Amino acid sequence: MKRPELSQAYVIAPDVNQNWLTRRVCGKDQSGVLKEINVVEERPLTIFLNSQEIVTSMTIGDHPKYLAVGFLSNQGMLRSDDELTGIDYDKELETVIVRTARKTNYEEKLSKKIRTSGCAVGTVFGDMMEGMNSLTLPSTRLKTSWLYALSHKINQTPSLYLEAGAIHGTVLCEKDTPLVYMEDVGRHNAVDKIAGWMRLNSVEASNKILYTTGRLTSEMVIKTASMGIPALTSRSGFTAWGVDIARQVGLTLIGRMRGQRFICLAGEARLLWDADLDRIQCEPQKTRRKGSQK
């Protein structure tokens, strides 16, 4: 049976026909048979804010302007009231320059660099919790039926992950509809692309859900909360600090979502348990090694 082209319903979805995002590489399998497979490309992208170099990030190379604007916004270097006067991307130099009407200088902030747990080694600058204490996220209700519908639709969407693996996806959703699906070698890049798209298109955040294929770490929680999105969900698991921060800022945090199962470790007051589990297809549980935690 042919898989439906669900990507047609998205505003932005992975484009598996962009051949420059992957490369064919030959090798031998476990039987010594010659095989040719797709592997994801990595490219450096240097981000400038006005005349100041901020960071060089390893990325697959698509949507560089969204990535730059989203990264700077999530770092607090672009303020909500900043007027953007230009975004210039030079493909040959692999550089994006974001220009603002306000003069900027972040030398002190750049000196406080934190390497995160993100794949492709994410980086954040300054106090990671800056502004979190005063943050209030909207109390939008979240139906569990939406979560199951989103999980099904996203898992059926053609993606670079299905083509080549070694990549993370992040999806911006509204109710049971996935809107924007970004992929990258680091989940932090994928969420920054969504943040950039939201800012440049003046998209409302209070009624959105963020879905990620990666772990629910402190960085992912902080970025989601900074974007004003009240709910973050994943098929993957949690870190303790990620849970602590989500509880502190009032973010609904849902992980290990597979088939009928999920666990909510923060912000469960938003959940409306309306799904009929008898209608949700089960997924087999992972086989645990003997002696492992039950």
Q: State pLDDT tens for residues 239-289.
A: 999 999 999 999 999 999 999 999 999 999 999 999 999 888 877 554 334
Global pTM value: 0.87
In terms of domains, do 91 and 198 share one?
A: no
Q: Which of 60, 91, 125 is the last residue of a domain?
A: 125
What is the pLDDT averaged over residues 5-30?
85
Residue 183 CA to residue 236 CA, distance in Å, equals 16
Range of the domain at 103: 43-125
Phi and psi, residue 99, nearest 5° = -115, 140
pLDDT-derived band of residue 128, with 50, 70 and 90 as boundaries? low
In terms of domains, do 186 and 269 share one?
A: yes
Count of structural domains, the chain: 2
Residue 190 CA to residue 169 CA, distance in Å, equals 6
Q: State pLDDT tens for residues 85-106.
A: 999 999 999 999 999 999 999 8
Cα–Cα distances in Å, from 12 out to 3, 193, 218? 19, 11, 26
In terms of domains, do 97 and 208 share one?
A: no
Cβ atoms of 124 and 116 within 8 Å: the answer is yes
Is residue 149 in some structural domain?
Answer: yes
In terms of domains, do 112 and 161 share one?
A: no
- Which pLDDT value is given to residue 197? 98
Residue 246 CA to residue 222 CA, distance in Å, equals 8
Q: What's 118's domain CATH number?
A: 3.10.20.10
Residue 17 CA to residue 14 CA, distance in Å, equals 9
Cβ atoms of 230 and 223 within 8 Å: the answer is no
Cβ atoms of 186 and 169 within 8 Å: the answer is no
Cβ atoms of 271 and 252 within 8 Å: the answer is yes
- Which pLDDT value is given to residue 278? 86
> Burial, 1: exposed, middle or buried (Cβ in 10 Å; 0-12, 13-18, 19+)?
exposed
